[in-house]
Structure 1
Amino acid sequence: MIVQTNEADPLSALLGAVIERGPWSHCAASLYDLDSGDLVLRSHVGFGPELAARWVDRLERNNPSRTAMHTGSAVAIPDIRSNRRYLSWTSRNTDGYASSLYVPVRLGPHQAAVLSVHRPVAHDYSQAELRLAGAIASMAALLLRGMAGHRLASPSGRPDAVLADVGSRLLDAHGREDWPTLMCAAVATALGSPVLLLDRFSQVIATADVDPALAARLAGGIVSPRRSAASGLPDHGTGARPVTVDGVPLLVGDAEGLGTLAVLAGARSERGLAAEVIELACRHIGIAARTMRASIDAEARAAGDLIGVLLAGGADASDLERRAGLLGLRLDRPTRVLRARISGTRQTPDPAEMTDLALIARRHLRDRGLDALVCPVDLSELALIVSVGAGDGAELLESLRRSLAEGMSSLRLAAPGRGRVQIGVGASGIGAEAIRRSDEGATQALHVIESGAATTDQLAIEDAGIFSLLTSIPSSDRIAFVRRHLGALVAYDRRYGSDLIPTLACYLECAGNAQRAADELFLHVSTVRYRLSRIEQLAGVSLRSHHDRLCLGVALHLLRLDDLPTPGHPSPTKER
C-alpha cells in the first residue's frame, strides 16, 4: 500500500525546511520494500498536485529513484533534457525542474529510503552537495521508517508526538549561532535526561542539564560509536549504544561530522525511545555541522580571494570596497595587515585546520570590537587585515597569540604549551594601496622575528628599527653585501673555530672601545686588540674609518637576517 504524507507530519516539515533553506526547488523522500521492490510511503514538497498524483499512479521500474534504491548508489542527472536512460520517466514526471539527484539510504536488510532533490536549471552536483543531501537523506529515512510503523513504543504509547516535537525543536535550531546548545536542550526536554555533545577530540561543545564538572569527567571516557556499512552506505540501526563511564550509564550516538551525542540513561531510555531521539538528533547535528562547515569554508574562500586581490594590487578600488563591505570590513577607514606564522605542530596542518585557526583569530578580534578579514596563506601562515581601533597594541597581539596557541592545542595540532605563534604587523593606512604596503611591512617584521633579530614573537614594522629598511632589500643583494664585507671573517671562524665575528659585533656595540668590549667578552684587552688587528687584515678594512665601521655594522645586521651560505652550497634563505 502506498501512503502519501500530509503537511503536518515531521517528515513534510523536514522537506519543507530543506526547500526553504537549501539550494533546491523540489524535494521528495520515498520508502521502498527491498524484497518486493514496492514503494511503501512517499512525501514530497515543491511538486504540483497533478504531478504528485500522477507520480504515485506510475510505478514504473525504470526510474532513477528505483535505480538508486537497487544499486545503493546515488544517481545524478545534471540535465534532464539530455539524459536518455530515463527519458520515458522524466518526460512525464518533471514539473519545473531541470536537474535531479537521488540519494539512497539502507534501513536494514528489508527497506531502503531514497531522497530526491531537484533544481530548476541544469546543474552539476558537487561532492559537497552530495554529502549534504546524504545527511538529509539519513534523517528522512529515520522518519519514513517510523511513519511506516516500525517505531518502538514510548511510555505514553505515542512516540510520534515526542519525535515530532523534538524534530520541530531541532529544525528550529538550524541556522542559529547557538544551535549545539539548542539541540542538546531539545533532546533533554524530550527525554527528561541530561545531555552533552562532544567534538571529535572528546571536548565538550554543549550540554543540557549537566554539571560542568561531571561533563568534563564523562567526556574523557566516551568513545564515538562505530558505524557499520552496507553496500558502501551507512546501515542505520538504533544509532545509539549503551556505555558506562565512571559508573554513570549513558546512551551515545555518532553525531556524524562533529563528534558524539551522549544522554544520561533514564526511564525512557530503557523503553527504547531515547535511541530513536538520539538517532534523529545526530542526523540534525550532522546536517548543522556540515552547513556550518560549508559556511565557514565559503566565507574563508571569499576572504581569501579578496585578500589575494588586495595584496596583489591593481584592482578597481570601488569594487574592492564593495566586496570588503559585504565581508564586514570598511576600506575607507584605517586598517593594517598582520602575518601570523605557527610552528611546533605535531604534523603539517591540513587546509581545514588552517581555516579553523583563521576563524579563531577572526572571532578573537571581533570580540575585541575589531573588524577583520582572515585567511590561510599556506599551511603555516595566516594573513589578517584588521581595522585599527582603540586597544589594538601589544596587549591585543599577545592575547591573539595566546588564542591561536590555544586553538592549536584544541585542534590537536600541538601539545599544550608547545605551539608557537609569531606575528608581524604592518603599518596602518587607508585604502587598498595602503593594505598592500602594510602587508609588505608585516612580512618584513615576521622575517625579523624568525631571524632571531627580535627578542619577542610579535613585532610591528615601525618598531623594527634598521631592520625595517634592511628587510626591504632582496635576499640575494643582502647576502652579496655580507659576503663582500664579512665573507673572509665568516670563513675564518668556520675553519678555525675562532670568534672574530662576535668580537667585531661586541666592539662596534661598545662604540669602538676595546676595553669595554674586553669586559663584555670576559677577555684581556690585548686579546681583543689582537683579534681586531686580524679582522682588519682579513677584511681589508680600517676600524678607524667611519665608513668601514658603518659597512661592517650594516653587514652584521644583515648577517642576522640571512646566514651566509658555505661556499658551494645554496643559501638556505628564501628570496624575500
Structure 2
Amino acid sequence: MTVQEAAPQTGAAPVTLGAVVDALGSGLMRLVVAPRGLDVPVGELVVHDPLGDPAPRPDDLLLAVGVDAARPSAIDVVTGCAARGAVGVLLKDDGELPASLVAAAEAHGIALLIAPRDAAWGQLHTLLRTARSVSAPRGVGSQAAPLGDLFGLADALASAVGGAVSIEDERSAVLAYSTGPHPTDDARRAAILGRRVPQEWLDRLQDMGVFRHLVSSDEVVHVPPLDALAYAPRLVIGVRAGGEALGSIWVQEGDRPFGPDADKALREAASLAALHLLRARSGEDLERRRSGDQLRAVLEARLPANLLAESLQVRADAPVVVLGVELVEADDPESGVLADRVADFLVFSCAAFRRRVVASAVGRTAYAVLPGRAGGTAEARQLADDLAARVSAGLRVEVRAAVVDEVAGLVRLPDLRAEVDLALRVLRSRGTGGCVHVDDVRPASVLLQLADLAVERPGLLSGKVRLLEDSDRKRSTTYVPTLRAFLDCFGDVRAAADAVGVHPNTFRYRLRRLSELADLDLDDSEQRLVAQLQLHLLAP
C-alpha cells in the first residue's frame, strides 16, 4: 500500500493592494489612504530597519516595525518609500493617524494601512506573505467563497473536482465540509458527526506516511482506498503558510475517478484556504488576547463584569460557569508562564466542545468563564472534569481545578472567582489535585474563611478550649481530643470512647473533669457550637 505524491506545479499571479486588504479583513487592518487606487500590485514585504538596509524597492510594501505614527519620523519613512517606488506602508496604531502623515502619503502616492497595536508583526507578515503569493483560482471559483467562508470554499472545490471535501485544522478537527450530492463513506461521515477524524483512521493514515507528506511537502497526496475500513480513495494537500502547517484539505473520490485538473484545483484551494485560516487565526488571536485582558481586569475588579457579555454572546444576567485551574506543583518558577498556556489550552479545548469561552491567567491560576447551560451543576461538573483532564494530558502536568455555576450571571463574577479560589485553597491545603465543584468543599471553605478571620482577630480563639489546650500541654492530659471526639460523635459516649480507644467509663470521667476545669456546659448548644468551631480552627 503506497501513497503517491503528485508532480509539482508552479506559477501564481501577483496580488493587488485590494486583494491584500480583503485578505487581512477590516478586523485586522484598515486602509487609510490609497492615492494610486487598489489595483496596484504588491511586490515583496520589507521590514523597516532604521539603521540601513533592507530598503523597499518598487511595488514593495513596508512593514513599519518600531515606527511611531505620531512622530515626525513617520513622515520621513513615507517619503523615503515614495523615493524608492514602494506601494505602501503598514503601521500599527489604535487611533486616527495624524493629518500631516496622511497628507504626506497622499502627496507622494503611498498607500497607508493601519493594524491594531496588539497585532503581532509576525502574524501580519505571515498573512501578507500568503496573500501576496496567491492568484485567484479559476477552477475553484473564488467569488463563490469569500474569505472567511470555509464552507463556501469546500462547496466550490467539491464542484470543481467532483468529490466530497473536508477542511481540517492541524489537529485533524473538521473545520468545514462540502454539502453537495457527492458520495460519503463511513470515514467522512464519522469525522463530520464527531467534528474530528476518528482515531482508527488517523492511525492507519499515520502508518501509511500521509501526515509525514503533509508536513514536509506542498504537493497533493493520493491516498489509495482502504477496503477493510470502507475508506474511498482521496486527494489530500497540506495548508501551509510561511512553513507553518495550518491544516489540510481532503477530497473523497466520487462516482467517477478524479479528472486531470483535480490536483491543480486542490493546490489553488490550499492557497486560498491558507488565507482563510490565517485570517481566522489572526482575528481569533487578537480577540482572544483582548477578551483575556478584559477578563483579567474584571477578575481584579478593575472593570465591570457585564463587559464580558459581548465576548460570550450572552446577557449580563444569563447563567455562567467559572472554572479555575492551577498546577499542583505551584512552586515551579515557570508556573506563571504555564498558567498562560493553561488559559490558551482551555480556549482551544472549549472550541472542541463548541463552547464559547473567555480565559485568562491571573497569577498562577488560569480562569475560564463560559455561558451556562440547562444541565446546571451536573453539566458544570462534567465540563470541568473533561477540561481539567484535557489540560493535564495535553500539557503533561498535574492540575487541580474548581468550578462554580451561577444563575445570576456575570454580575457576580468577582464573587465567583473568590469561591473558586477558596475551593482551590482547600485542595491545596489537602495536598491533592483533582477537580471539585465549590459545593463539594463549601464546609471546608467556610472554615478557611473563619481561620483567616481568626488570624486578624485572635480573640475569637480564646476561651474555654484554650484552657483545655493549656492543660494538655502542661499536664499531659487528653482533654482536647476527648472533647473533639464527643462533639464529632454528636454526644454518643460509646462511639466517642471507641474513637479515642478508651473504656466508656474512662471517657465519661475525662469529660466530667474537662467540663469542670473549663466551666464548659455541654448541654448548652451555643457553647457546644463555639467549642467545635474553635477546635476546627485550632487544629483543622
Normalised by the size of structure 1, how large is the TM-score?
Answer: 0.58
Instruction: State the shift of 1:423 in Å.
Output: 1.4
Q: Is 1:138 the equivalent of 2:121?
A: no
User: How large is the RMSD of aligned CA atoms in angstroms?
Assistant: 5.9
Q: Percent identity?
A: 16
Aligned to 1:277: 265
Aligned to 1:423: 403
Normalised by the size of structure 2, how large is the TM-score?
Answer: 0.61
Aligned to 1:514: 493
Instruction: State the shift of 1:510 in Å.
Output: 1.3
Distance 1:394-1:134 versus aligned 2 partners, 3 A rule: closer
| Equivalent-residue separation in structure 1 for 2:276 and 2:38 (angstroms) | 34
The answer (yes or no) to whether the contact 2:170–2:248 under 8 Å persists in 1 is yes
Corresponding pairs, count: 458
Instruction: State the shift of 1:19 in Å.
Output: 6.5
Aligned to 1:557: 536
Letter in 2 for 1:338: V
Letter in 2 for 1:141: S
The answer (yes or no) to whether the contact 1:425–1:441 under 8 Å persists in 2 is no
Instruction: State the shift of 1:186 in Å.
Output: 3.5
Letter in 1 for 2:419: G
Aligned to 1:394: 377
In the TM superposition, what are the counterparts of 1:50-129 in structure 2 within 5 Å?
64-65=56-57, 78=67, 82=74, 90-91=82-83, 93=85, 99=90, 120=112, 128-129=120-121
| Equivalent-residue separation in structure 2 for 1:377 and 1:447 (angstroms) | 15
Instruction: State the shift of 1:479 in Å.
Output: 12
Alignment gaps of 5+ in structure 1: 28-44, 56-60, 102-117, 145-159, 229-236, 564-576
| Equivalent-residue separation in structure 2 for 1:559 and 1:279 (angstroms) | 71
Instruction: State the shift of 1:352 in Å.
Output: 5.1
Distance 1:238-1:439 versus aligned 2 partners, 3 A rule: closer
Of 443, 455, 474, the residue aligned with 1:477 is: 455
Q: Is 1:293 the equivalent of 2:281?
A: yes
Aligned to 1:239: 219
Q: Is 1:436 the equivalent of 2:414?
A: yes
User: Residue 48 of structure 1: SS of its match in structure 2?
Assistant: coil
Instruction: State the shift of 1:508 in Å.
Output: 1.7
Of structures 1 and 2, the one scoring higher in RCO (CA 8 A, sep 6+) is 2
Instruction: State the shift of 1:191 in Å.
Output: 1.8
| Equivalent-residue separation in structure 1 for 2:369 and 2:121 (angstroms) | 30
The answer (yes or no) to whether the contact 2:384–2:435 under 8 Å persists in 1 is no
Instruction: State the shift of 1:464 in Å.
Output: 2.7
Instruction: State the shift of 1:305 in Å.
Output: 3.4
* Cα offsets for 1:97-133 (capped at 9, x unmatched): 55479xxxxxxxxxxxxxxxx8636779877344344
Aligned to 1:36: none
In the TM superposition, what are the counterparts of 1:527-542 in structure 2 within 5 Å?
529=507
* Cα offsets for 1:283-333 (capped at 9, x unmatched): 433333333333333333333333334344466x6xx756755764554x4
| Equivalent-residue separation in structure 2 for 1:531 and 1:508 (angstroms) | 16
Distance 1:503-1:68 versus aligned 2 partners, 3 A rule: farther
Aligned to 1:412: 394
Aligned to 2:105: none
| Equivalent-residue separation in structure 2 for 1:100 and 1:427 (angstroms) | 44
Instruction: State the shift of 1:471 in Å.
Output: 1.9
The answer (yes or no) to whether the contact 1:424–1:444 under 8 Å persists in 2 is no
| Equivalent-residue separation in structure 2 for 1:456 and 1:226 (angstroms) | 38
Letter in 2 for 1:192: G
Letter in 2 for 1:279: R
User: Residue 175 of structure 1: SS of its match in structure 2?
Assistant: coil
| Equivalent-residue separation in structure 1 for 2:162 and 2:117 (angstroms) | 41
| Equivalent-residue separation in structure 2 for 1:124 and 1:384 (angstroms) | 25
Letter in 1 for 2:202: A
| Equivalent-residue separation in structure 2 for 1:510 and 1:99 (angstroms) | 74
Q: Is 1:306 the equivalent of 2:294?
A: yes
Distance 1:379-1:281 versus aligned 2 partners, 3 A rule: farther
The answer (yes or no) to whether the contact 1:337–1:386 under 8 Å persists in 2 is yes
Q: Is 1:255 the equivalent of 2:239?
A: yes
Alignment gaps of 5+ in structure 2: 1-11, 44-52, 93-109, 179-183, 192-196
